Chain A
Amino acid sequence: MSNILEKIDTIPTLPSIIERLNGVIYKPQTNAKEVAKILSMDPALTSKILRIVNSAFYGLPNRITSITHAIIMLGFNTVKNVAISSSVLDIFKRNAADINFLKEIWKHCIAVASCAKILSKHCGQVLTEEFFISGLLHDIGYIVLYVYQYEKFLEFIEKCKSSTEPPILVEKSIFGYDHQEIGGYLFKKWNMPKILEESASYHHIPLLAQEHNFTVSIVSVADNLAKALSLGNSGSIFTESLPPELVDALNLNALNWELILNDILREYNAALVFMEML
């Protein structure tokens, strides 16, 4: 593990632009112009944000040509989340040995994000943006293992094919730690919002989440749904049993799953625009 931690400690910090963004976004006096000013310091990021907010995923009636306009139309959180996920992915894609498999992992993340957003809506939530971003970045630890422990990662994938153990235990036996611990460690180190840190740390053990139990539970179900739907690749297609307390708390037995699956498929197809981040 110390080997992995050393590598994580050499992972670049988040761009200062994201730190500055996190610093102002929650202040009540912050206005769109101020956020736009920060983002405009990175033209590549700005153009990526504009491409994504103008996609069918957000379904805006008119073309958005500035960050200020994007914030007015979509809100601070949406623009911030697009900026964060794009910046996080940027750090890893440069070092990936095989970009194609990274694309498959990212596709899985987009699927989990879509499932989390739709599921949260069907569970009565109105503001679904945080569920989307929590799903999108839940497997960050997995991406770290893939990029920085490539040889061992291939060994892990091979072993998963024949092992009768759950993949999370196979991970522990090969790497010493699992991707949840790695993801949680990294997000804590980057001082990312607690909701993202907990989603990365507990999506396989949702009942252990402390502050964002509901969001992590949704991400956990979403992760299983994405695997069952075979959207993207997270190394394993095996779904896991959900704790009965979670099933009851989310009232999952009462949901209209046929409707949910149709909504997920529509959402996922539109969300594939996030593949452009790679």
Chain B
Amino acid sequence: MGESQIKVDKLQIGSKLSRDVISADNRIVVKKDTVIDKETLDILILNSIEEVWIYDDNSALIKETVDKIFSRTQNDDFMGKLYKIVLDFRIKNNL
């Protein structure tokens, strides 16, 4: 995780993240107690975020939860492929 990444204290539900909080490799950094709930995941998906890191090295829970979502996009099974098609569709249609 690069030092230059800007920390996000609160994910703004329903809004697009500004590009300056997203690193070049599509990571964001969030507070330790940020809950990755449905709305937060929507924000991550719509902003093409690939990884979330919390900023005190205690990242197990948040990373694991986000990994569960994104692993779906890389699965070889049918639903994994379909999930990726749907994500692309959502991004294209701003859903």
Contact = CB atoms under 8 A, between A and B. Distances in A.
B79 A229 contact: no
Contacts of A162: 61, 65
A258 B89 contact: yes
A233 B61 contact: no
A252 B78 contact: yes
B93 interface: yes
Interface in A213-234: 224-225, 228-230, 233
B89 A230 contact: no
B36 A229 contact: no
Contacts of A228: 82-83, 86-87
Contacts of B87: 228
Given A161-B35, A242-B78, A253-B78, A230 B72 contact: no
Given A161-B37, A230-B38, A242-B79, A261 B86 contact: yes
Contacts of A224: 79, 82
A257 to B, nearest CB: 5
Nearest to B38: A237
Contacts of A161: 35-37, 65
Contacts of B68: 164, 238
Q: Chain A interface mostly helix, strand, loop or mixed?
A: helix
Nearest to B42: A230
A92 B78 CA distance: 36
B62 to A, nearest CB: 10
Contacts of A42: none
B83 to A, nearest CB: 5
**Which of B41, B65, B78 gathers most chain A CB within 10 Å?**
B78
Contacts of B35: 161
Contact of B77 (A164, A237, A241): A241
Contacts of B93: 265
Interface of B: 35-38, 41-42, 45, 61, 64-65, 68-69, 72, 75, 77-80, 82-83, 85-87, 89-90, 93, 95
